[in-house]
Amino acid sequence: MMPTFTSKPERPKCKSLSYREFQNAQTMVFAIEEINNRADILPGISLGYKIYDSCGSIEMALRASLSLVNGANGSQMPCQRTNTIQAIIAETSSTPTIAISATVGPLNLPVISHFATCACLSDRTKHPSFFRTIPSDYYQSQALAKLVKYFGWTWVGALCSDNDYGNNGMNTFIKAATEFGVCVEFSEAFFRTDPREEILRIVEILKKSSSKVIVAFVSYSDMDVLLGEVAQHNITGLQWIGSESWISDMNIATGKWQQILRGSMGFAIPKAEITGLKEFLIKLNSSSDIDLYKELWETIFQCKLPSQETAGSKIMCKGNESLNNVQNQYTDVTELQIANNVYKAVYAVAYALNSTISCSKWDTNQSKCLDEVNNTWQVLNALREVNFFTERREKVFFDKNGDPAARYDLLNWQQGEDGTTEFVKVGFYDASLQPGFQLSFNNISIVWAKNQHQVPVSVCSESCPTGTRKAVKKGKPVCCYDCIPCAEGEISNKTDSVMCLKCPPEFWSNKWRDTCVPKLVEFLSFEDVMGIILVLFSLLGVSFTLGIAVVFFVHKDTPIVKANNSELSFLLLFSLTLCFLCSLTFIGRPTEWSCMLRHTAFGITFVLCISCVLGKTIVVLMAFRATLPGSNVMKWFGPLQQRLSVITFTLLQFLICVLWLTISPPFPYMNMNYYQERIILECKLGSNFGFWAVLGYIGLLALLCFILAFLARKLPDNFNEAKFITFSMLIFCAVWITFIPAYVSSPGKFTVAVEIFAILASSFGLLFCIFAPKCYIILLRPEQNTKKHMMGK
């Protein structure tokens, strides 16, 4: 009904009596009577109390707190005189407690709550006189986040009560869960008094949700309303994770929707026992003069006491009713988590008073102290220093924020043998331990939703396997992602990697992109098909050269061998043999010595070879000039001069090679530029100038030889020696001119193959062009191997 603002609003009224709240109130009375009967605490001083029923209303809670401060009469146990209130124990929920604490805080009046868990109450600037015997929701929210992370649930839904308890607790949970990599699909707040349409909207969200785990930071009264609608829509299979407000509530656990919540899990205040409380609770009878007790009696037995007005269809109480056989939340002492907090709160006040009071007025007749404690700030300071053990050896103290030590039992809702729901302790959480040890589990198996024994899976995207990385979907939370394979050369060796790791330069990713393996080292080896072919051609060239040498040696006295300067011919054959053999140094794994040997051996042997050819060419030219009248040219280029020319030309190349090796020699080099997946092991030239100086010197001698042979090509000679030298030099120069671009552009081991091919091709060209015609005459045309035939022209 909307207010009209034409009359005063009606005072709120309590609709029903809560057995649990009444048990809490009776626990406070029990603790006070127990303390009054002890001689070691407050000797000679009796504690009194006033009880107000706020019915969960903020307005009624504030009215009650102001009545206590002002000393208004609302006492359930009248005292002989008006006493100063020393502490307020309240409330069961956070929102009324915040209002009470903010109101009486400036008066230095301590407020101790047994069930107000909002983390906001730890703010000493706003609540300087607040204490509690239940841990702050900050620790519970942290514990819930760690629980969700522990089971790998990265995609969860969240519900909370739309009050300080739920909103603050859920905000802390979401913040902690986000830090652990957990995503919240939705977060909805509601209150039990919301319109049914609002509750149905949340039910629809639950039905459409893809998350299988729901974290409910909800008070037990709000949870009761939500579950009624969830049951009507038959929403099952969800794994509920609850806060301490409802996870240990027997009314919910034994309700008609217990099947929906079977397998639920959450943190609760540890169980406790209070000796004598059961007997104290059931000794209540119908003869009490206190209205609240009469209301409890009538509510439990559904009857009307004779002193009360008869209303409705209730029958009159018979007078023989007894609480001994009653089983409800008031008489149940198996779950005393909250009642134990009330018990500890009363004792905390008693110990604080005990440390502040020193009696100066003693009534010897009644054995009572007549002093009054008027300074509440003394009690407030004493509460900050309280530190004691209960009869069950539970340590009670408050930290600088007025909070106790945060310890929780991890409960799992399991079906008992009789079909009822049982709270089974499967682990615990202790915030005082190191982070890695705060959450622990015992060996009791956990039952999940639908009585499953396998941990449910609640993720937005399946885990990315090794070899892939997570890529967040556009417009989605970070928990929703695609699994992208790592690129070549990158790996991820663990699941759910957010990035791929680049392999070191000498390694490459395997087929599955989960391990870096050494790159394949490539070089021209003797086992390669190409290497085998080149070796065969090299050995074939050596064989041909040795065969020709044998033929020349056998026929060394014949005119054709003598006419071709046998000494230079044998030296040329020797150098050609070395040329063929030096190609073998280019095959095999490059080492420091092989790299230096291959280029220097190649350079020196080829210069030796070209020097011999050059000598033969000069001999041909000089021979025909010597036949002219008065010519004495041959004495200037006789055998001695021929030897000296060969040695001189070769020595110059030797000096170039020595300088090259001294200044910047070739060395083995792992070339990773051509291919990403393999390494080309090659010989780095060291000094490019040295390499091209060696080749340039060879080219210079070859060009000189070619020019001289070309000039002598038309000289009279039956065996066309100058023509064959010209042709061999033409082949030699053509091979090495084409070698240069091929060498520069060929990748990897093909560079070496090109160089070997050039060596073999030019060597075969010299061998066949110069010696093949002579062998043909010697072996197949012996009749032409005569002095007469040679001098025919």
pLDDT confidence band for 76 (50 / 70 / 90):
very low
CA 756 to chain centre: 52
Give the CA angle between residues 164, 169, 171 to the nearest 5°.
100
Q: What is the overall mean pLDDT for the chain?
A: 86
Q: Any idea which of 284-293, 388-397, 624-633, 653-662 has the lowest mean pLDDT?
A: 624-633
- 3-state SS string for 185-230: EEEEEECCCCCHHHHHHHHHHHHHCCCCEEEEECCHHHHHHHHHHH
- Asked whether the predicted pLDDT for residue 255 surpasses 80, the reply is no
pLDDT in tens, 417-458: 888 889 999 999 999 889 889 999 998 899 999 889 999 999
- Asked whether the predicted pLDDT for residue 64 surpasses 90, the reply is no
Cβ-based neighbour number of residue 416 at 10 Å? 9
Q: Any idea which of 262-276, 565-579, 622-636 has the lowest mean pLDDT?
A: 622-636
Rg of the Cα trace of the chain? 53
The predicted structure's pLDDT at residue 327: 87
pLDDT confidence band for 475 (50 / 70 / 90):
confident
pLDDT in tens, 407-419: 999 999 998 888 8
pLDDT in tens, 480-538: 999 999 999 999 999 889 899 999 999 999 999 999 999 999 999 999 999 999 999 99
Coil, strand or helix at 519: coil
Residue type, position 446, single letter:
I
Residue type, position 140, single letter:
Q
CA 737 to chain centre: 58
Cβ-based neighbour number of residue 147 at 10 Å? 20
User: By percentage, how much of the chain surpasses pLDDT 70?
Assistant: 90
**Are the C-beta atoms of residues 478 and 472 closer than 8 Å to each other?**
yes
The predicted structure's pLDDT at residue 227: 92
CA 367 to chain centre: 70
The predicted structure's pLDDT at residue 82: 45
Q: For residue 421, what are the β-bridge partners?
A: 415
**Are the C-beta atoms of residues 429 and 438 closer than 8 Å to each other?**
yes
Task: Determine if the pTM surpasses 0.85.
Answer: no
Helices 19-36, 291-301: axis angle to 10 degrees equals: 130
d(CA 535, CA 526): 8
CA 300 to chain centre: 57
Half-sphere exposure of 247 (CA within 13 A, CB side): 28
Beta-strand relationship, 239-242 and 213-217? parallel
Phi, psi for 246 (deg, rounded to 5): -120, -15
pLDDT in tens, 153-180: 999 999 999 998 899 999 999 999 999 9
Question: Exposed, middle or buried by CB within 10 Å (0-12, 13-18, 19+), for 7?
Answer: exposed
Q: Any idea which of 311-320, 356-365, 465-474, 777-786 has the lowest mean pLDDT?
A: 356-365
Task: Encode 709-731: b = buried (16+ Cβ within 10 Å), e = exposed.
Answer: bbebbebebebebbbbbbbbbbb
Question: Exposed, middle or buried by CB within 10 Å (0-12, 13-18, 19+), for 231?
Answer: middle
- Asked whether the predicted pLDDT for residue 367 surpasses 80, the reply is no
**Are the C-beta atoms of residues 403 and 417 closer than 8 Å to each other?**
no
pLDDT in tens, 337-353: 889 999 999 999 999 99
> In this structure, what DSSP letter does residue 112 have?
E
Question: Exposed, middle or buried by CB within 10 Å (0-12, 13-18, 19+), for 411?
Answer: buried
Give the CA angle between residues 468, 471, 475 to the nearest 5°.
160
Which of the pair, 370 or 728, is modelled with greater confidence?
Answer: 728
**Are the C-beta atoms of residues 362 and 290 closer than 8 Å to each other?**
no
**CA-to-CA dists, residue 257 to 232, 236, 239, 252, 330, angstroms:** 9, 10, 14, 8, 22
pLDDT in tens, 707-738: 888 777 666 554 467 778 888 888 888 888 88
